[in-house]
Amino acid sequence: MMGAATAVVVVVVLSVLRPAAAVSTEERSNDMIDWLPNGPDSMEFRQYSGYLTLGLADEAQFFYYFVEAVAEDPTTKPIIFYLGCHVKLCSPLTAAFQQLGPFTVDTDGQSLLENPNSWNKGELLPPSSSSSSLICMTLKAGDRHVPTVVAANLLFLDVPASVGFSFSTNNTYVADITDYSIAEQAQQLLSLWLERFPEYRDNDIYIAGQGDIGTIGPLLAVGLLHQNKIRGSPAINLKGLIMGDPNMDFMINKISKVEFYLQMGLMSFSTYQTYMDRCANVTQPTGNGTVRGGAGFVAPECIQIWAPVDDNTVFLERFNLYTPPCPDIDIANIMGPYSFTEFVYICRDQYVAGYFSIPFVQKAIHVKSPPEMTDPPVWMPSKGGSAWTRNLQSAVNPLREVLDGGVKVLIYSGVLDYNLPIIGPQEVLSKVNLTMDTAWRPWFGKSPVEFAGYTVSYKDGLTYATLKNSGRKAAQDQSEDVYAMLSSFINNQPLPNSSYFPHP
């Protein structure tokens, strides 16, 4: 298997040799969204959606959704290039319309609500009045470091072609999907998008996402860094990488889950001890040294030990341990334990799916039906049968290359995500050879008297933060705190502190 750098260089060369698509004013104007059905009547920003194509005869069609920043001149604001969502091979429209975009889908699955904490808005973040503590209502901005919120342009891309509204008539684009191929396609599609929107060519760009962005993000960033070194290739001003609850190392994450399960009371100590001794602590030599776990995780004995743990946690929402049940649960549709979370907890995903399955909504955002379909497609975040292979087992090396290339990195973890718990990213970072700048400390977002989580920063350009009372959908669970964290990062400022709890 090729290393990360080698694989990316090949892609860069191919993308440079590929004939540049002619910039079409008509194509661009056709992508403009006049209105979103059942949404607010007026908007302070423009939106676009449409398709970017790869392959001979445009056989692979990739859907994008672009939201301009709320600003006098959006072209002066950074672009957040958002990939994936909270589950594998998932459309980022779920993140756009649940967490960080300008709208969220209402509980009827048919109408939109304005999102006050959309990442495309910018203003001075005031002390919050949402806290139950009366003191929070009278505090001034001077009581803490209050970041100026950076309004950003938001670009969401359905990649690979097996997610969301993307599709392909060539099976090559939907089979044998790997973290490398996703990063490669995203790199090429970003260049194509900048051809269609050339006024954003010189903007600062931040790659962002959740979960599997932990490997895809560093690979994409390395690819863009290599692209910038090739003579004649259009430079892309990559400034940062933002990864929420990232899965950066399969083995480390698996072991961190075992440790987190014990801490949260999801398994007995005896089962924990048995599993650690017989499975997790079994070492295996690799090209990068010796790792714990290895083949032990898939050994029949280990699968048998872990099976009761899976059975006992299948009724929990793995992205946020404390997620409350959805309202108006249709118990008759619960077919068994493995459909339990789908019907009991993941209602917001269902709201988004309902909205984007409405034919006139699809018409408004210029959705195309695959050639084999005669009816409008039923939108699903991830299409049935989609699968991908993790070829990059650890992101340690590409992450180091990203930092050495001058790209800053923000990694954050919701403390209630038990599928990708906070232990994993911290252990991965311990292997990246970082130099500490500011030691572990609390940080404050919406309130100067209520800490948002803990953070540590490194001189190499990396910031790590935790978010309390949050799962993987942090921008939904703790939107104001995430807003403050993001703005501090883009502004090259430390995460907000509080004068009531001074720290270096």
The answer, yes or no, to whether residue 385 has pLDDT greater than 90, is: no
- How far is residue 332's CA from residue 342's CA, in Å, rounded to a whole number? 13
pLDDT, residue 283, reads: 62
The per-residue pLDDT for range 21-37, each reduced to its tens digit, is: 444 677 788 999 999 99
Q: What is the mean pLDDT of the chain?
A: 81
In DSSP terms, which residues pair with 5 in a beta bridge?
none
Confidence of residue 273 (pLDDT cuts 50, 70, 90): very high
pLDDT, residue 420, reads: 85
Give the lowest-confidence range in 41-55, 308-322, 415-429, 442-456.
Answer: 308-322
Helices of type H across 249-290:
250-263, 269-275
Residue 2 φ/ψ region, left for φ over 0, alpha for ψ in the -120 to 50 degree band, beta for the rest: beta
pLDDT, mean of residues 289-305: 68
Write the DSSP symbol of residue 74.
G
pLDDT, residue 21, reads: 45
Confidence of residue 502 (pLDDT cuts 50, 70, 90): low
Confidence of residue 483 (pLDDT cuts 50, 70, 90): confident
Q: Are 98 and 112 in contact (CB under 8 A)?
A: no
pLDDT, mean of residues 311-328: 76
pLDDT, residue 12, reads: 45
Give the lowest-confidence range in 137-151, 322-336, 478-492.
Answer: 137-151
Q: Which residues contact 421 (CB under 8 A, 6 or more apart)?
A: 253, 256, 257, 259, 260, 413
**Opening angle at CA 119, ends 481 and 39, nearest 5:** 115
Neighbours of 404 (CB within 10 A): 11
pLDDT, mean of residues 444-468: 90
The per-residue pLDDT for range 162-216, each reduced to its tens digit, is: 888 998 888 877 777 888 999 999 999 999 999 999 999 999 999 999 988 999 9
Confidence of residue 219 (pLDDT cuts 50, 70, 90): very high
Confidence of residue 76 (pLDDT cuts 50, 70, 90): very high
The answer, yes or no, to whether residue 62 has pLDDT greater than 80, is: yes
Confidence of residue 140 (pLDDT cuts 50, 70, 90): very low
pLDDT, residue 41, reads: 81
Confidence of residue 320 (pLDDT cuts 50, 70, 90): confident
3-state secondary structure of 213: helix
pLDDT, residue 134, reads: 30
pTM: 0.87
- How far is residue 258's CA from residue 310's CA, in Å, rounded to a whole number? 11
Work out the end-to-end distance of the chain between its first and last CA atoms, rounded to an integer number of angstroms. 45
Residue 55 φ/ψ region, left for φ over 0, alpha for ψ in the -120 to 50 degree band, beta for the rest: left
Q: In this structure, what is the dihedral angle of CA atoms 69, 71, 72, 73, given to the nearest 10 degrees?
A: -40
CA atoms within 13 A on the CB side of 76: 6
pLDDT, residue 2, reads: 42
pLDDT, residue 224, reads: 96
pLDDT, mean of residues 229-242: 90
pLDDT, mean of residues 65-69: 96
Q: Are 422 and 466 in contact (CB under 8 A)?
A: yes
pLDDT, residue 284, reads: 58
pLDDT, residue 131, reads: 38
CA atoms within 13 A on the CB side of 134: 0
Confidence of residue 321 (pLDDT cuts 50, 70, 90): confident
Query: Six-digit token pair at 219?
Result: 């690979």
Confidence of residue 147 (pLDDT cuts 50, 70, 90): low
pLDDT, mean of residues 82-93: 79
Counting residues of the chain whose pLDDT is more than 90, the rounded percentage is: 40
pLDDT, mean of residues 455-471: 92
Domains in the chain (CATH in brackets) are 4-115+150-249+391-409+432-445 (3.40.50.1820), 251-345 (no CATH)
